[in-house]
Amino acid sequence: MHTLADIAARFGLTLRGDGARIVRGVGTLAEAEPSQIGFLANPAYRSQLATTRAAAVVVAEKDAAHATGDVLVSRNPYADFARIAALFERHENAPAGIHPSAVIAADAMVDDGAHIGPHCVVGARSRIAAGAVIGPGCVIGEDCVVGPDCRLVARVTLAVRVRLGARVLIHPGAVLGADGFGLAFDQGSWLKVPQLGGVVIGDDCEIGANTTIDRGALGDTVLEEDVRLDNQIQVGHNVRIGAHTAIAGCAAIAGSTRIGRYCLIAGGAGIIGHLEIADRVTVGAMSLVTHDLREPGEYVSGTPIQPKREWRRNAARFGQLDQLARRVRKLLGEGTDD
């Protein structure tokens, strides 16, 4: 329970309204109750400023005049809303100590200040730092390092040689450090190429549910600090992802590709192997990157969605597109062009 004045002071916001008003939570403009704080980050919702029941609204100065009730003026309304929302987040208690059902290798080192949940396994030579929370059912293999204040929510696997920095958050079902997909073809069969490297995850990274990050073949797969991966992302061996890059669900990055800093990769996008992606590149949803992207900017592939009947006619023409272009050249009297 906080007052509007408390919240304004804590986060350096300018309050225009009743500082004594009690706040018990947060909500959207459309659904906030009179005891909750709302926010405006997306201009599409500006008209809701006039109708919201929220106790107060976090807004930019330029939008403040549209509000009919109390406002908290912010330089970055979405970020300040996130900070306010965190006041109302319930955190489960995860006391230091090892649950009796956990199985810890004799030569693993678990700090007295770490929490190891039920049914966890920690393998040979692995180290768990103070403040780390290893939730139920996690498996940490050999030669792993979990840094201070990391949180593995539940059922996370760190297979082999995975080193996490500080404050890394990993959601259930994620698998880090499994074998990269390395195969040599020899005499009619596949021969497995040993995957001798590891995975290095920088401070403040977040890894989504059921995401997989393979360990390097030679050398490591690397996420620099503050990389944010959503659910069901696949990161191949020896990929390197630059700091502050965010990747949405179901994207996939093939082996040895290097992605720059501050990139945004949308959901379902694919990047083939051995590419270089510059800093501040944005890749569209379900787009496939097949060559280096050396300049910042937004890149897209694919075709627009259409009713099937229309799509079918257009798609058939795509299959003859080169021929169509040649005919146009002919009409223009330009002869063949390749």
Site for its own copies in 163-222 (CB under 8 A): 169, 171-173, 175, 178-179, 181-186, 188-194, 196, 204, 206, 208-210, 212, 214, 218-219
CB of 53 to its own copies, least distance (A): 14
Contacting its own copies (CB under 8 A), which of 82, 130, 163, 199?
82
Please, which residue, 66 or 326, has the CB nearer to its own copies?
A: 326
Can residue 284 be called a binding residue for its own copies (CB under 8 A)? Answer: yes
Can residue 1 be called a binding residue for its own copies (CB under 8 A)? Answer: no
Helix or strand (DSSP H, E) at 322? helix 321-331
Q: Phi then psi for 268, rounded to 5 degrees?
A: 70, 5
Can residue 83 be called a binding residue for its own copies (CB under 8 A)? Answer: yes
Instruction: Mark whether 291 is an active-site residue.
Output: no
Can residue 260 be called a binding residue for its own copies (CB under 8 A)? Answer: no
CB atoms within 10 A of CB 141: 21
CB of 27 to its own copies, least distance (A): 6
Which residues, numbered 224-243, are part of the site for its own copies (CB under 8 A)? 226, 228, 230-232, 234, 236
Contact 291, 275 (CB under 8 A): yes
CB of 19 to its own copies, least distance (A): 24
Please, which residue, 65 or 232, has the CB nearer to its own copies?
A: 232
- Report how far residue 173's alpha carbon sits from residue 165's, in angstroms, rounded to the nearest whole number: 20
Number of residues forming the site for its own copies (CB under 8 A): 127
Contacting its own copies (CB under 8 A), which of 139, 144, 164, 199?
139
- Report how far residue 186's alpha carbon sits from residue 173's, in angstroms, rounded to the nearest whole number: 34
Which residues, numbered 261-280, are part of the site for its own copies (CB under 8 A)? 266-268, 270, 272
Q: Backbone dihedral region of 177: left (phi > 0), alpha (psi from -120 to 50 degrees) or beta?
A: left
Sort 204 into a burial class: Cβ within 10 Å, 0-12 / 13-18 / 19+: middle
**Residue 170: both structure tokens together:** 């990993």
Please, which residue, 20 or 184, has the CB nearer to its own copies?
A: 184
Instruction: Output the CA angle 258-260-265, nearest 5 degrees.
Output: 90
Can residue 89 be called a binding residue for its own copies (CB under 8 A)? Answer: yes
Can residue 47 be called a binding residue for its own copies (CB under 8 A)? Answer: no
**Residue 10: both structure tokens together:** 């804590």
Can residue 121 be called a binding residue for its own copies (CB under 8 A)? Answer: yes
Q: Name the active-site residue from 237, 244, 274, 291.
A: 237
Contacting its own copies (CB under 8 A), which of 21, 23, 27, 223?
27
- Report how far residue 129's alpha carbon sits from residue 144's, in angstroms, rounded to the nearest whole number: 11
What is the residue-wise DSSP string for 106-141? TT-EE-TT-EE-TT-EE-TT-EE-TT-EE-TT-EEE
**Residue 152: both structure tokens together:** 């593995």
* x-marked contacts with its own copies along 58-77 as a string, rule CB under 8 A: ------------------x-
CB of 249 to its own copies, least distance (A): 4
Please, which residue, 19 or 189, has the CB nearer to its own copies?
A: 189
Can residue 285 be called a binding residue for its own copies (CB under 8 A)? Answer: yes
Instruction: Output the CA angle 313-318-320, nearest 5 degrees.
Output: 105
Runs of H (alpha helix) within 87-232 = none
Can residue 149 be called a binding residue for its own copies (CB under 8 A)? Answer: no
Residue showing tokens 């929220």: 54
Which residues participate in catalysis according to the annotation?
A: 237
